[in-house]
Amino acid sequence: MHSLEKRFIYSKPINVYFESTVACDLTCKHCRANAIPRRSPIEINTEEAKKLLRDIKELGSHLIVSGGDPLKREDLFEILLYARQERIPVSVTPTTSPLATYETIKVIKELGINTLGISLDGATKESQDGFRGVEGTFKNSINVLNYARDLDIPVQVNTTCTAETIKEIRGIYNLLTRKFSPPVKRWSIFLLVPTGRGKDLRMPTSEELLSLFDFLYRESKKAPFRITTTQALFYRVYFMMREMKNNKTREEILSRGRSMGWGVRDGNGVLFVSHKGEIYPSGFLPISLGNIRDKNLAEVYGKHKILKALRKPEIFKGRCGTCSFNLICGGSRARAYALTGDFLESDPLCPFDKKIFNNYLLFQDILKNNSTDNEKKDIKGNKNPQG
């Protein structure tokens, strides 16, 4: 019997990610999308994209336009204009290639985007260009950060954490704090899911992850921007254990926990639409739930059996199914699927052994009066649920 008997279920997706294209001029080692230089002939067209936007408007969700590189779509500005006309909040994550000029970023701002997403996986030219596969990528990334600062556009920097890039984390943090705050408002560490080109990359060890968590926890107390993680759900457990050790109150821990987004986010607060129109629980969990060409997002989100399963951590297998913290964490369903072929299996990258649960009784006492008693409640206040 779990102490946390209330599941956090979002009644609608807070964020819908739209993989607008798989075209991209970079050859990143970790690319989930297996991007190619030119657009695919089977990508959804302008009118189909507008149909997707109408579905998103019906849900009241935030749209994140990703890729590939969205700037490779000739109709990107038309799509963004339509989103503005429909009053849909939008963020865009362009590739930092030569296409991302000052003039282009300025037009994107004028079209009403809320946030610009920029990927930075290395703290130097050598590391960033090497990981992204094209010389000049680091310089372009710095240029786009400068453009965003000049144009007053909030930025989320995304950093992929692998065995190769984990050594870059501190350097990236120092670079962002010294030179780019503002425009950086959020720094998100994406823990590797071995899918797409990322299948060939090594994941960090448990020791490296715990060292990283210690660094993120300490710096989050003084960073000039918010620090979050994606597909590293066990960081929440680490964070709350540290908060308890530092004598934080129950209210403080609960408040921080809700802002981090408890439970599995794939298909719960998040949906992903591929360049072909396929609907997935998330970009890293490519299990098709249907296609937007003939399905309605709201219907898929509310009724699909796979999404219902993702929202039931008690049916997860192995350690994740029996873990006392699976309503807070739940493990990466995407990583479980990538490594085992079963999205209900345990996350093989969990860094914790049984020692971490020595404080479980204290944790249970802190959280047992959790007041969220409606599984269908629309959890508010977390605009960017993180995994």
- Render pLDDT for 305-340 as a digit per residue (tens, 0 to 9): 999 999 999 999 999 998 888 888 999 999 999 999
343 is a domain residue: no
CATH (domain of 148)? 3.20.20.70
384 is a domain residue: no
- Number of domains comprising the chain: 1
Query: How many angstroms separate the first and last alpha carbons of the chain?
Result: 24
Q: Name the H helices within the chain.
A: 46-59, 76-85, 102-110, 125-132, 137-151, 169-179, 206-220, 234-245, 250-260, 297-303, 305-310, 318-322, 333-340, 360-367
pLDDT surpassing 80 at residue 259: no
pLDDT surpassing 80 at residue 381: no
Please report the DSSP string for 150-177 in residue order: HHT--EEEEEEE-TTTGGGHHHHHHHHH
Q: How far is CA 301 from the centre of its chain?
A: 18
User: What is the pLDDT confidence band of residue 258, given thresholds at 50, 70 and 90?
Assistant: confident
- Render pLDDT for 90-102 as a digit per residue (tens, 0 to 9): 999 999 999 999 9
120 is a domain residue: yes
Half-sphere exposure of 203 (CA within 13 A, CB side): 21
- Render pLDDT for 3-23 as a digit per residue (tens, 0 to 9): 344 678 899 999 999 999 999
CA distance 100 to 102: 7
173 is a domain residue: yes
Residue 90: both structure tokens together: 């939008």
Residue 281's domain comprises: 15-304
34 is a domain residue: yes
68 is a domain residue: yes
Average pLDDT, the chain: 90
User: What is the pLDDT confidence band of residue 383, given thresholds at 50, 70 and 90?
Assistant: very low
385 is a domain residue: no
386 is a domain residue: no
Give the three-state DSSP class for 87.
Answer: coil
Nearest to residue 71, comparing CAs of 117, 131, 114? 117
